[in-house]
Structure 1
Amino acid sequence: MKELTFVVVDDAVFMRTLLKKIIEEVETYKVVAEGANGFEAIQKAQLFKPDIMTLDITMPDMDGLTAVKEILKCSPDTKIIMVSAMGQQSMVIEAIKQGAKDFVVKPFEKSRVLQAIKNVTEN
């Protein structure tokens, strides 16, 4: 099976570290870059064309919701998994309409993160 590449975007270093750790426990998953806001997410998408990007909804400078369309313009094959806090359902629904493929809610469980990855790679 080919290696899947990931970009992890969250303004909280702790959350990026946690997600990266969960993702890289799978032998064929590799985090190639990280970002702290929507602008960085777009830059990393252009540069790395990752298979999957985890994208926090609430970030400074540019939020994840705003970034979804731009990311898919420059890297149309990237599958986006939104990362949201509790109570952000309407924003998650909007992100899915914009082209995101799945979501995980903070604080996330490892099994749910891996399930979301599986969901987006099988569809």
Structure 2
Amino acid sequence: MDQIKALIVDDSAFMRMVLRDIIDKEPDMKVVGLAKDGVEAVEKAVSLKPDVITLDVEMPKKNGLDALSEIMLKSPTRVIMVSSLTSKEASITIECLEKGAFDFIQKPAEVPLGL
């Protein structure tokens, strides 16, 4: 069985580490790349051809919405938005889904001590 290749995109090094740890615990998944902004996200989506991308909304250089639109044009991929802005009622969530995001996950408001 082939492993699912994941690209993690977040401007927070801590969140990249947390998401990598979660994905690495799955036997059928493998992190193939990390990106810290929307520009890197587009470049790595095209070059690495991941099966899935976790994409933050608020990032420097190019935000997640703009990166999502460009990824869908250049290298359509399943994208899961991961953001503190993303919730079922938020208009940003609807916009992400309309632009091609596969799903969304809301970041916790606070990270528990000990993580």
Which category of TM-score, normalised to the shorter sequence, fits these structures?
Answer: 0.7 to 0.9
Shift of 1:4: 0.4
Deviations 1:38-90 (A, max 9, x none): 101000001101000000001111110111111112212x1000011046621
Partners of 2:3 and 2:73 lie apart in 1 by 23
- Name the residue aligned to 1:3: 3
- Name the residue aligned to 1:16: 16
Query: Which structure 1 segments of 5+ residues have no match?
Result: 109-123
The alignment's TM-score, normalised by the length of structure 1, stands at 0.82
Q: Tell me the matched-pair count.
A: 107
- Name the residue aligned to 2:80: 81
Q: Is the 1:6–1:30 Cα contact (8 Å) retained in structure 2?
A: yes
When the two chains are superposed, the root-mean-square deviation of aligned CA atoms in Å is: 1.5
SS at the partner of 1:26?
coil
- Name the residue aligned to 1:98: 99
- Name the residue aligned to 1:118: none
The alignment's TM-score, normalised by the length of structure 2, stands at 0.88
Partners of 1:2 and 1:97 lie apart in 2 by 29
Partners of 2:85 and 2:73 lie apart in 1 by 28
Query: Which structure 2 segments of 5+ residues have no match?
Result: 110-115
Q: Is the 1:84–1:92 Cα contact (8 Å) retained in structure 2?
A: no
Report the identity percentage. Answer: 44
Structure richer in helix, relative to its length: 1
Partners of 1:56 and 1:91 lie apart in 2 by 12
Moved more, 28-37 or 80-89: 80-89
- Name the residue aligned to 1:33: 33
Name segments (4+ residues, structure 1) moved above 6 Å: none
